[in-house]
Chain A
Amino acid sequence: MKKYLSYLIVSLLFISSTALAQTRDIRGVVSDANGPVPGATVMEVGMPSNGTATDIDGNFRLVLRGNSNKIQVKSIGYKTREVNVQNMTNVNVNLETDAQGLEEVVVIGYGEQKKVTMTGAVSVVSGVEIRENPSASMQNALVGKMPGFFTQQQSGRPGADAAQMYIRGVSSPNDNNAPLILVDDIEFSVDQFQRLDPNEVESVSILKDASTTAVYGVKGANGVILVTTRRGAIGRPKISVRTEYSLQQPAMFPEFLGSYESALLHNQARLNDATLTASRTGNPLNYTPAFSDEAVEAFRTGSNPYVYPDVDWREVLFRKWSNQSRSNLDVSGGTERVKYFVSMGYLDQGGMLKNFGENVGVNNSYYHRRVNYRSNLDVQVNKNLNMRVDLYGNIGEVNNPEMPGTQWGYNDPFYEYSSYLSLSPYAHPAYNPDGSIGYRLNLHPGRYQGPNSIIARLTYGGYGRVNENNMNLVASATQKLGFITQGLSAKGLLSYASEYGYRRSMTRGTFPSYIWDPVTDTYTSYPNNVYRAQRFFDDYQARGTTRVLNYQFHLNYDRTFGNHHVYGLALLNHRVDTRSRGGTAAALSYRPVNFRGYTGRLGYDFKDKYLFQFNAGLNGSPFFSGGNQFGFFPAVSAGWNISEEPFFKDNINFVDFLKVRTSYGLVGNDLMGGQYGYYYLQEYGNSGSASFGTVHNHFGGIHEGRLPNMDVVWEKEKKFDVGLEFKFFKSRLSANLDYFRNERFNILTTRDGNFGTVSDVFGVGSPPANLSRVENKGYEVELIWRDNIGTDFGYNIRAMYSYANNKILFMDEPNPAEPYQRRTGNNINTPFVYKWSGEFYASEEDILASPTHAGARPGDLKYVDLNNDGVINQNDRTYIGAPANIPPATFAVEGGVSYKGFSIKTMFQGSRGFVSGGAAENIQFLGSNMQEIHKHAWTPELGNNAQYPVLTENMGISMPRGETMSTFWLVPADFIRLRNAEISYTIPKSIVDRVRMQSIRVYANGNNLLTWSKLQDRYQLDPEVLAGRDRITYPPQRIINFGLSVGF
C-alpha cells in the first residue's frame, strides 16, 4: 500500500511538474571545428518526440516542453552531445568529429546496428554516392562501390541495361546465384530493383556472411542487398529539384570494313578454297570470284553507288549520341507527429537507333520512359506507437522496333548490323536517287534472301511497346512495450506488392522498297507488285501479373544494463507469392506459393568491446514433403574491439579503432534454377500419338513423368568469415579486410541424361537429388584515405580489391576419357574447349606431320593434342581454368578532391581473371561483317603471325562456335575502366541566400567513360559481353551527364 502511495505521489509530482514546466524557446548554432553543421538533429532529452534539425547555417530553434533542461545534438560523423540549457535562451554547441565512427549505424536484416558493434561482413554505399552515377539502372550505379560486389553489364538496351550482380561470386552451377534484394524489408525482383529511382535511396548495404544472412534463412545463401529509402526528418519542408541531361554512346561498337575491302576478302577466300581443291585433287584451278573485277573496281571508286553500294550502316542506322533526361522533385520534412518524404522522378532514356518510324507517324526507336513515385510517411501516434505508411512504385514504358523478316527471328537491328549475310556494306543501297528506299537482289553470294531493305523494315515495320506498372504499399506499426519490460517493442508489418504489364505491338509484313535501274532510270518495287505498305496489325499480350503479400510480426528487445548491452529479435514472416511461372513449375503459375519464416537474433556486448551475436532462421517452403518442409539456419559470430582495451588505448596512439570479427553459420537457397516445382510429386503427361484402324483414327498417348524424390531439400551453404576493421591516424586511414570460405552443398543435380552417372537404361527421368558441392573462397580489401589540408581543401582515395573463386568439390560426374576432362575441381563457369597451340598448320606437310582433325587445311588452328594420341578429337578438349562471364576478381580505385565549392571525383574499376570472346556473327568470317582482323588472316607468308585462321567459305575445325570453340577465340578479358567521374560546383552560400534558396549545385558526371581491355586484341567487343555470344547486341553505353540540383 505504501508502495502504491509513493507511486501515486511520484506520478502526481511528475504531472504537476510537467504542467508547471513552461514551454520556452531555445535557439542555437551547432558547429564543428570548420564551421556550422547543417542537418544535425537536436532533441529535447526526456521528450523523444520533441526535436528539430539545424538549417544550412547550423541554426536551430526548439521549444522545450519537458523539464530535463537538456538537449541532445546528433549528427552523422560526430559524437553525440548532451548539453544542459538551464537558464539559457541561446546556445552554441560544438560537435567533435567521431574519429572512431562510434555513432555510425549500419542497416542489417530487420533492423540496424551501430557499426562498432557489428560482428558480420557488411558493405554500404550511400544514396548520395549512387546519385553521382547517371546510369538509368540501379545495378550499374553500384559497380565498384562495395567490396564483394561483382557485376557484369551485358547490354545497354534502354530498359534492359542492368548489370548482372553477384555477392562474393557464385556458388551454384544451377544458375540461381541472384542475391536476395530487399527494399525496406520487402523482397524485390531484379527487374523491380533496376526500376528503382536512386533519388529515393538513402543507402544500399550488402550482407555477405552467415551472421548477417542467416536471418533470411533459406533465401540468404547468395547474399542480400538491402535498400533503405529516404524518410522525412523533423524540420521545415525542404524542396529539392534535380534535373539532368545526358548524352550516351556505345562504350564499344564494332566498325566494319567497306565494300571494296570486303569484296577483296571474299574473293580471297574463294581463291584459297579453289587453290586448295586444285592442289588436293590435282585438277586445274576452278576459281569463280564472288565479285567480278568490274564490281570490285566500282566498289573502289564508288562510281556507281546504287548498283554497287558501299553503305556505312552505322552512319545510316544509328545516332552518334542518344540522350537521356532525368528530373526529380522531392519534398521532405516533418513535425514531431508526422514526418514525410515525397518524391517524384521522371526518366526518359533514348536509344541508339534512329527513329525511322517517324516518317510514317510511329515511334519505333528504342526508349525507356519511367515515372517513379514515393511517399514515405511516419506518424508518431503517441509516445509509444509509431506508424509508417509507404506508397511507392513506378509506371514505365519500354519501346523497341519490330523488324519483320530478320534472320532467325532475332528482331534486332544490332544483329543485322553485325551479320554479313544480312547486311553487308553492299547488301543494298540505303536510298535511291529519288529518295525512295533502295533495294537490290543477289548482289553477293550466300546472302539471306527474303527480308526487305532494312530501312523499309525499320520505317514500316512498327513497334513493340511494353507497359509496366509496379505498385507497392507498406504499412507498419511499432508499439513500445515498456509496460512489460523496458526496451521491448513489437512491430507488425503488412506489404502488398503488385506488378503487371502488357505488351502492345503494331506491325506489318508487306511494304515496298525500290530497285533502281540506272540504264533505263526506272524503279521496280520489291517485293514485286507491292506499291504501298499494308496496314498495321495490332497485337496485345498480357505480361505476367505478380502479387506478393507479406506480413511480418517482430518482437524487438534492446536494453543496456551498465556495461552490458543485450538485444534480441523474434520475427514471423509470411509471404504469399502469386506470379507466372515457367518450365516445370508452370503448374504453379498464378497459384499462390507460400513461404513461412521464423527468425531470431540474440546479441550481447560488453562495454562495446566483446561482441557476440546469434542469428537463426527457421523457414518453411511448400516445395518439399512433410518432414523436409522446414529448414533451420543458425549462425554465430563474435567480435573484439581491441582498440577499446586499456592496454592498447594507452600504448598505441595512432590507432583509433581496431576490431576483429568472425562468423560461421548455415544459410540456404530456395531458388532452384529453372526446375522450380514440387519435387516430391510425380506427374504424368500427354504426349505422342498413334493411328489405328483401317480408317485413320488418331489416339493420344500418356507418358510417365520424371520420378519423384521425397527427400529433396534446398541448397545449403556453410559460410565462414573473418574480418579486420581499423582506423589509423585520426581516422585518416581506414580499412576493411575480409577472408571468407563458403561451401555450398545439397546442390540439386539431375543425375541422368546429359553428363550424369545414371544410365539411360533407367528409362525415365530420374529425380533431382541434393548432391553437388561447391567451394567458394576469397578475400576483400578496402582501404580509404581521407584528409583535409586547411579548411578549404580536402581529398580522399579509396582502393578496393575483391576476389571470389569457386571450385566444384563434387558433382555427379561420370568418368571422362581423360583426367583433364573432369569438371570436378574446376570453376563452375570454366569453358570446356580446345587448347590452341599458338600455331597454325603451315602446309600440307605440316598437317601430315601433326596431330589433326579430319578436314584440317593449311591455315587452320593447330590445337594441342593433349592425350598425345596423334589425332585431335573430342578427347583433346579440356577445362581451361579461367572462368567465363563472371570474373573472379574485381577492383576499383576511387579518388576525390574538393576545394571550397569545387569537387572532382573519379573511379576506375576493373575485373580480371576471366575469359570472354564472341562466336559466329561476332567474329566469324562471312558470318560477321568484315573486320580489320580478317585482313590479317593466315597466309603462308604470315604464318604464325596471323591474327585469324585462313579465309575460307567453308570453315571447319577453326570455327568459333560451341563445338569447335578454342582458346584462340576465348581470350582473357581483363579490363579496367574509367567507370565514373564527376566534377561539381556548389555555389557559395552568400550568393544562394540572395536568391532565397537553400543550395545550388551544378555538376557533370559520366559513366563507363574509357575502357582498356585485353579483349580488344581480338574483338571489338565490350569486355563484359556474354562470352561466346554469337552476334552483336545492344552495347553498354558511355554516359556523359550534366545536372543541376537546387534546394529550396
Chain B
Amino acid sequence: MAAVRLEFRNVTRRFAPTRRSEGVTAIEGVSIAVRDREVVSLIGPSGCGKSTLLNLSAGLDGPSVGEVFVDGAKVTGPNSHVAFMLQKDLLLPWRTIRENVEFGLEIRKVPATQRREIALGQLKICHLDGFENHYPHQLSGGMRQRAALARTMATDPSVVLMDEPFSALDAQTKLVLQKDMAQTLSRLGKTCLFITHDLAEAVALSDRVLVMSKRPGRIIEEIAIDLPDRDDPIARRSSEKVTPYLRRLTELLDVAHADV
C-alpha cells in the first residue's frame, strides 16, 4: 500500500463562542487518509466544515481534538508540503502572471533565475505561455484560475488542497480546466484533497469520494470510484458507468440533508 500523505486522526474542531456568535463544532471525529498520488473528493452540504478541514490541512488552523499529519509529520503550522487553491484565484493584481506564480517560491527564498525557470515551466504546463508578462486583470476567469493552478504547483507540494476551484467558471471552461488539472495531477504524481459541491465533478476527478454530514461534519460514507481515465474527466463523464455512482451520491446527500 502506498504511503499516506495526508491523514486526519479523529479530528474535532470546535469554535469557542464569541460575543457575536455562539460556539459551533465544525467537524467532529473526522478520520481521513489520503494516500500518495490519490485524488480524494470531499462532498457535503454547505456549512459542513469542508473549509475547516482545508484550513487544518494547510496548518492555518489547529484541531481542538485529534491530530493532522502531512507526510508523516504532525501539522503544527503552515508548512511547505501543502499548497491550496480556492474558488477565488487570489492572484495579486500588482504582480504579473509570472510573478504571481513565483510568489510561493519567492517566500521560500528560491533564487530569482531558478524561480523564473520554474514559473515559466508551470505556465507552459497550464497552457499560459505567452501570458507571463500580463497582469491578472488582463486575463479571463478561466486563465486566471489556470495561473492559480500554476502557482499552486510551482512550490512542488506533496499535497494539494482544492476548495471548489472551478465553481465560479462557466460550464465549458470548467470542463477544460478539470481536464487540465486532472492531467497535471497525474503527470506530476500529486496527492490531492478536493472539496466540491458538484457530484459529477467529484466522480469525474477522483479515486475516492468522501461524503460529509451536516454540521457537525462527520464522514458518513466513503465511495471508491472504480473507473478508468482518472486523468481524462471528459472521457470518464461520458461513460455510462458514472450513473450508479451519481445516483448513490445523490441518495447519500439527501440523507445528509435530512439527518440533523
* Chains A and B are bound partners: no
A residues adjacent to B (C-beta < 8 A): none
B residues adjacent to A (C-beta < 8 A): none
